[in-house]
Amino acid sequence: MTEVQTAAESTARCWSRKIADTILGECNAQGDHEFVLQRWAYVPGMLLMAMARAGLLHEEPCYLSYMQRHMDTFIGEDGSICSYTLEEYNLDQINQGKNLFQLVREIGEERYAKAAHLLAVQLVGHPRTSEGGFWHKKVYPYQMWLDGLYMASPFLAEYARVFERPDLMDEAAHQLLLIERKTRDPRTGLLYHGWDESREQEWADSVTGLSSHFWSRAMGWYAMAVVDCLEHFPVDHPKRGTIIGIFQRLCQALARVQDQKSGLWYQVLDQGGRKGNYLEASGSCMFVYAMAKGLRLRYLEPSFEEIMLKGYEGILTHLAQEDERGVHLHGICHGAGLSKDRNGSYDYYVSEAVVSDAPMGVAPFLLASLEVERYGDERK
């Protein structure tokens, strides 16, 4: 192990604790009543999952209880989920359900399993494209977005493992492979943000149905989805090797567009240096997380270590900051999507607000720090 590697992994350990403590500090400062996450949604779900993982790695009960306390505000005794409606058929609403599996393991109350079953029922009956791809939402007919793969597929894969449903493991594999085949650009190897099978949307190419650009966070969602799904696949699953192969191919494409000076990735991945483009935090954190986990679980070749560590160092050097209030993360795209007024153009992606300390970036930052640390620990 080189001195650079040792320093990066030690730094990750320091930062993962500091990020988690900052999140707890914000909660304590505002009070549970004010800070409780008010809606069952994908961003709070990712933040809770990151805190729970920090609790497991650092053996800190306060991090774990943070997740349980907030989840318990939504889960009824009968397994119902407050503010969730199955008939909305929205993949975003699945993501927070990933926290249920740890509650099933650690607490064992039947209501957590019932809530997981409810979300699985949504996915079994979810509206689909002609080849079985999940629509991103009922209100987005025949559209697949990269975002949705992270929201639903890792939940589906873990549900399949925990509740012994191999058919749903096959479903998770199908979703990952289908969208990669539909959205991959053969020239760059990057994936377009969305695909409209009907070719009716204003943002969709009239021939291919694809959106126009490679949005950093969209590819981050997909990269995280792949490594999080693979963790649950049995080693003899017939699609496991193919999915590992497309993950390595994806990371090769990301390596080609990594900014060599900073180690970060741009908001529009293949347009580095173009006016208005910027080095974006959430996507960069997601790529580091996916690569670090891929290296730890040997889905990636060791040559990706340098790319991953350079990316993590870039986050700490250029985007992270500390003061008396804790850790801050800058350069986070507040949000982006595809619709009539979100046309997927270059100008659209670089016009969305850029913010600091939003959970959309802080959660992947914590996840990335934890994975860099685990990678180092398990290599010793």
- Catalytic annotation, residues: 147
Neighbours of 59 (CB within 10 A): 8
Residue 313 near residue 231 (C-beta atoms within 8 A): no
Within 8 A by CB and 6+ apart from 312, the residues are: 8, 12, 263, 288, 292, 368, 369, 372
At residue 67, what is the residue type? M
Within 8 A by CB and 6+ apart from 31, the residues are: none
Report which secondary-structure segment, H or E, holds 144: strand 143-145
Q: What is the CA radius of gyration of the chain?
A: 20
- Rounded distance, CA 226 to CA 259, Å? 23
Within 8 A by CB and 6+ apart from 263, the residues are: 310, 311, 312, 313, 314, 315, 317
Within 8 A by CB and 6+ apart from 38, the residues are: none
In DSSP notation, 177-198 reads HHHHHHHB-TTT--B-SEEETT
Tokens of 71: 């989840």
Nearest to 141 by CA among 121, 120, 126: 126
What is the 3 state secondary structure string of 315-373?
HHHHCEEEECCEEEECCEECCCCCECCECCCHHHHHHCCEECCCHHHHHHHHHHHHHHH
What is the 3 state secondary structure string of 24-74?
HHHHHHHCHHHHCCCCCCHHHHHHHHHHHHHHHHHCCHHHHHHHHHHHHCC
Tokens of 243: 């999915």
Residue 95 near residue 42 (C-beta atoms within 8 A): yes
